[in-house]
Structure 1
Amino acid sequence: MSTCSESTQTVPNTSLPVIDYNLLVQKDSTELNKLFNVCKQLGFFYLKLDNQLDPARIFTLAEKVFELPLDTKNEYAMDGKNGVYFGYKAEGSMYADKKGTPDTIQFWNISKDEIFIQEKTKFPQVILDAKNIVQEYMTKSHGIVIVILQILSMKLGLDAETLPNLHRFMQPSGDQLRLTKSTMYPVQTQDKSDVAFGAHTDFGSVTILFNRLGGLQVLAANGEWFNVKPLSGHAIVNLGDAMVKLTGGIMRSNIHRVVTPPGLNEIVDRYSIVYFSRPENDVPMKSLLSGEKDEQTDEQVFTAQAWIARRVKNFQTENYKNEETYEKSRGTENNRESNVST
């Protein structure tokens, strides 16, 4: 029995700050300040939504996608070892800890570019049949991201369109919709780690997440994990490393992981729906703010496309070499707690 079970199951439940999306749209000064502060301090929050974004039909799509035979899904396998992050990822193709333990989550990354710009048809029929639903969900998700980026731009003393202009929807980027599934087992019955997806930060700009079961844990400022429960009518939103880079470390990209939901007493499939917004492919990954520290010299600055490819490669089990590989995979190039073990 893995000792990981004990450590993941005894962490406290902590409510994230709640940001009201309607108040953001109305430019309520208290809510704008609240958003800016949580993005600097924790980098995670609940976003209260009314009818702006409903993931129900995407959850249904996820169930259908993962019911496909494994051979069929593998026909669309992503080429992660070479930095390509779109398509199907099978269980075990990434690793969950510094020892190289394979993860236990499968996901399908649907590229925004392939759906809207390139209009590719290399998808299973179940996704092609739901193309309009996927397009609508991506469009609405990105609209929410833009509102957040406009506010952060203003609060950083930039023009309101500075960050949005690096995330234009119809420009090539790493934006994607992710469908995920992991089969969760009660901790007392399993003989392996209950960490489905290891400690990491996201490497994009803004992430919008829905799940129905729980299992997400976030690292607090004191170095302790806490559980983040799903909240009806709310998305879970967090910032990624791109925002850390673009703001010279002012914004916070926080470490998180996926574990067996506390108190689980039966075998259950856990699905989640994630929209990742990332900078356009040719955006240089360096601070937009004068006087803020960059960790790389100008000669070493990556474009967003190259930076994402580097991170993807470092996540892959096939590319795992040692604990240094693990550290490179986890991100947060500013303010990163350096020795989380799982």
Structure 2
Amino acid sequence: MTARIPTLDIQRFDTDREAFVAELGAAYREWGFAGIRNHGIPQAQIDRAYDVFQRFFALPEETKRKYHVPGSGGARGYTPFGIETAKGATHFDLKEFWHVGREIPRDSKYAEVMPPNLWPEEIPEFKEVAYGLFTTLDQLGSRVLGALALHIGLPQEWFADKTNFGNSILRPIHYPPITAPDVPNVRAGAHEDINFITLLVGASAAGLEVLSRKGEWVPFTAEEDTIVVNIGDMLQRLSNHVYPSTTHRVVNPPGDQARKPRYSTPYFLHPNPDFLIKTLPQCISADNPDRYPEPITGHEYLMERLREIKLV
């Protein structure tokens, strides 16, 4: 019997805090992944967002490419099919995507590394719907980080002023139908995420698989009312691997299922660009010595990783 990745009710953070924090922490220590239900995000909001994103991806290729900014690492706007490649992979991923970033004042000290958003004029409601989902997931992510902070002996609000200007990204993704037989590419090659945590809302089809500690690929298709939340490399580094960033992938479905498109929308929650990722003393022990004696800022780490996945 294959082990199952836990799904937890986040309402217990308010009603049964100590037990919830213990269970959530244990799930992340083991898997780096968990499902979060009763998250309070209305299904109607999620459905409307997917409708808007699907309408964008259905636009003609030349229309979408108006919003591609070469040399930007895909930081904002559209990234066409066939660019992003998992670290160490030979073949590019079978996907196209859009990036929505945090709206900040243009005189902010972060403005140089956090460009303004682009919005497709062909879909007037795109901005309101996409940024509404960005904000909602940002708030939910802060609650999850609060529980993770408590689990390792930090104050609940420890992450608040480290992520309030985080260079976070909402990424609507379209995986087109696979029509050619025996393609060597997969929809998303095996990888780890870069950021603190990722929140995946409403993936429209199966395909996500998580690599267990035993080396088995475990499918994780969440129920409709569940958001998948996983640890990224920045939090793994900050926590000295107490919270592991687990390898995962999106595989191509078998048979006729491959000829259907797949849509998903992850939210990558990042720290502020100048946040120094320096190993937490709470996560260093005789059994777990500091793996990262040299600290690095969030922005430096992000750029290092974007080069590895061929986005810059």
Same fold, TM-score > 0.5, yes or no: yes
Spell out, residue by residue over 1:132-152, the C-alpha distance to the aligned partner (whole angstroms, 9 max, x if none).
222321222111111111111
What is the aligned partner in structure 1 of residue 260 from structure 2?
A: 268
What is the aligned partner in structure 1 of residue 92 from structure 2?
A: 102
For the pair 1:146 / 2:142, whether they are aligned, the reply is yes
For the pair 1:67 / 2:61, whether they are aligned, the reply is no
- Shift of the alpha carbon at 1:128? 4.8
- The 5 Å alignment of 1:15-54 reads 15-49=4-38, 51-54=40-43
What is the aligned partner in structure 1 of residue 297 from structure 2?
A: 303
Spell out, residue by residue over 1:159-210, the C-alpha distance to the aligned partner (whole angstroms, 9 max, x if none).
2211222111xx2x32111100112438xx6221251111101111111112
1:199–1:256 contact (8 Å) kept in structure 2: yes
1:13–1:228 contact (8 Å) kept in structure 2: no
Q: In structure 1, list runs of 5 or more residues that go unmatched.
A: 1-11, 320-342
For the pair 1:227 / 2:219, whether they are aligned, the reply is yes
For the pair 1:182 / 2:175, whether they are aligned, the reply is yes
2-side partners of 1:166 and 1:56: how far apart?
A: 31
- The 5 Å alignment of 1:1-342 reads 15-49=4-38, 51-54=40-43, 55-79=46-70, 83=73, 85-96=75-86, 98=88, 100-113=90-103, 120=116, 122-126=118-122, 128-168=124-164, 171=165, 173-185=166-178, 190-193=181-184, 195-209=186-200, 210-262=202-254, 264-265=256-257, 267-289=259-281, 292=284, 293-298=289-294, 301-316=295-310
1:246–1:286 contact (8 Å) kept in structure 2: yes
What is the aligned partner in structure 2 of residue 325 from structure 1?
A: none
The structure-2 alpha-carbon separation of the partners of 1:271 and 1:265, relative to structure 1 and needing over 3 Å to count, comes to closer
Deviates more, 1:272-281 or 1:45-54: 45-54
Q: What's the Cα RMSD here?
A: 2.7
* Percent of paired sites with the same residue: 24
1:115–1:135 contact (8 Å) kept in structure 2: no
2-side partners of 1:155 and 1:143: how far apart?
A: 19
TM-score of the superposition, structure 2-length normalised? 0.86
Give the number of equivalent residue pairs. Answer: 299
The structure-2 alpha-carbon separation of the partners of 1:106 and 1:121, relative to structure 1 and needing over 3 Å to count, comes to closer
Structure showing greater relative contact order (alpha-carbon pairs closer than 8 Å, 6 or more residues apart):
1
TM-score of the superposition, structure 1-length normalised? 0.79
Write the letter of the residue equivalent to 2:167: G
1-side partners of 2:51 and 2:66: how far apart?
A: 22
2-side partners of 1:95 and 1:231: how far apart?
A: 28
Larger relative helix fraction: 1
The structure-2 alpha-carbon separation of the partners of 1:40 and 1:266, relative to structure 1 and needing over 3 Å to count, comes to closer
2-side partners of 1:225 and 1:309: how far apart?
A: 29
Q: In structure 2, list runs of 5 or more residues that go unmatched.
A: none
Write the letter of the residue equivalent to 2:10: Y
Write the letter of the residue equivalent to 1:259: V
